[in-house]
Amino acid sequence: MNKFTTILVFLSLFSAIYALSDTELVQVKSNPFGSALNNLLEMHMLSQDPSGRLNEINNVLDQVEELLTKQNQDSEQWINGRKAQCSNDQDQLQQQIKSVHDSLESDKETTRQHYEEQKNKQGDLDNERSNLSTSEESLRNARNSLEDQTKRYELAHADYQEAIKACKEALELLATLRQSSFIQAKTQSRLVTVTALIQKHVPAKTSAFVQPIVSVLTELSTSNKVDQDKLKRIVSLIEQLLEELQKQLGQLESSNIITVEDLNSLIKKTEESIENSKGQIKSLEARLEELKNLIENLNGAISSNESTHELLKDALNILKRLRVHFHEKIVSSVENIEKDTYYDELHRFD
């Protein structure tokens, strides 16, 4: 800056100071910097070398302006840095919130699926238990039926065996009478016994031969004489009855074999069904227990994620408020500098 310019600056400052009203001067002096600058100008305007003093004042003002500018830039840089950090932190928090939210929704969906599976498995378990109960009842019935069938068969088989034995014994007794005219008392006694056995083991309703045979045998057992015609007829009837009984016995045995095989097959299938049901029940119970633990763990994770989600939302809200704060701070800082009472004075030398 040349001497002429320096003089003009001095005159301008001097004129500006003395042009101020009393109120304006009070306002300038109320500011520490304005007061110091006013004192400095007043002191150097009274010196013997105004131009040298003005150069010194000008240098001081330049240094002050440079310092203020640097401080302002540093302040802006720091504030912008904090804003950038807040922005980065906010982005990270938003990503974390999204991650937690996605994890939370995934856990909720998985839990819903587990609840649905638990409901279905419980229904399957109830059905399987019902099937097991039905199968066990069927098994009891089948075993009872087999037991009853065995008893009936044994009784019927014994009856047939005794009836066949009685018929054969009767034929043997009658064979001894073919060449005789008289019946001995011992033979009569045996005929009475055979007749009773036939009546006992071959009910009249099961064969048309029973009643005629019993009638003739009874007559022979009470008579001393042998009627050969009746003897031939009774032998023929007993032989037919014997053939009929043997045929029925064969049918009984065949029928029993089929019935027993069917019942044993039913029992085997029912037992297999029961074992399968027990296995299914065990598997379903294990899966239900597993689902119970999974649901408990997921509910814990959901609760934890919900808490984390709320904490992150609070942190994000704080960061947003900080960003607003730093934005307002930098704007306020610039406005304060522009509105400073000595701002214009500093820029008179530009």
Domain shared by 293 and 330, yes or no: no
pLDDT number for residue 153: 94
Number of neighbours of residue 79 by Cβ within 10 angstroms: 17
Q: Please check whether residue 318 lies inside any domain of the structure.
A: no
pLDDT, one tens digit per residue, over 244-264 is: 999 999 999 999 999 999 999
Domain shared by 139 and 76, yes or no: no
pLDDT number for residue 7: 43
pLDDT number for residue 42: 64
Q: Please check whether residue 107 lies inside any domain of the structure.
A: no
Q: Specify the CATH number for the domain of residue 161.
A: 1.20.1330
pLDDT number for residue 165: 93
Confirm if 193 and 220 have CB atoms less than 8 A apart.
no
Domain shared by 157 and 295, yes or no: yes
Domain shared by 45 and 132, yes or no: no
Above 90 in pLDDT, residue 147? yes
> Of 275, 314, 9, 284, which is closest to residue 123 (Cα–Cα)?
284
pLDDT number for residue 81: 75
Least trusted range by pLDDT, from 17-31, 183-197, 253-267: 17-31
Q: Residue 195's Cα: distance from chain center in Å?
A: 77
Token pair of 274, please? Answer: 């029961």
Domain shared by 141 and 273, yes or no: yes
Above 60 in pLDDT, residue 178? yes
Q: Please check whether residue 245 lies inside any domain of the structure.
A: yes
Q: Which domain holds residue 239?
A: 128-299
Above 70 in pLDDT, residue 287? yes
Q: Please check whether residue 105 lies inside any domain of the structure.
A: no
Above 80 in pLDDT, residue 317? no
Residue 114 or 256, more confident: 256
Domain shared by 142 and 237, yes or no: yes
Domain shared by 269 and 167, yes or no: yes
pLDDT number for residue 340: 45
Domain shared by 172 and 52, yes or no: no
Above 90 in pLDDT, residue 38? no
Q: Please check whether residue 8 lies inside any domain of the structure.
A: yes
Q: Which residues contact 295 (CB under 8 A, 6 or more apart)?
A: 111, 114, 115, 118
Q: Which residues contact 81 (CB under 8 A, 6 or more apart)?
A: none
Domain shared by 199 and 289, yes or no: yes
**Average pLDDT in the chain:** 77
CA distance 80 to 73: 10
| Overall average pLDDT of the 280-304 stretch | 89
Percent of the chain beyond pLDDT 70? Answer: 67
pLDDT number for residue 235: 93
pLDDT number for residue 52: 58
Above 70 in pLDDT, residue 327? no
- Count of structural domains, the chain: 2
> Of 341, 340, 333, which is closest to residue 73 (Cα–Cα)?
333
Above 60 in pLDDT, residue 9? no
pLDDT number for residue 50: 55
Q: Please check whether residue 175 lies inside any domain of the structure.
A: yes
Provide the whole-model pTM: 0.58
Domain shared by 86 and 186, yes or no: no
> 337 pLDDT band (50/70/90 cuts)?
very low
| Overall average pLDDT of the 75-98 stretch | 73
CA distance 200 to 321: 111
Residue 240 or 342, more confident: 240
Above 70 in pLDDT, residue 51? no
Confirm if 284 and 128 have CB atoms less than 8 A apart.
yes
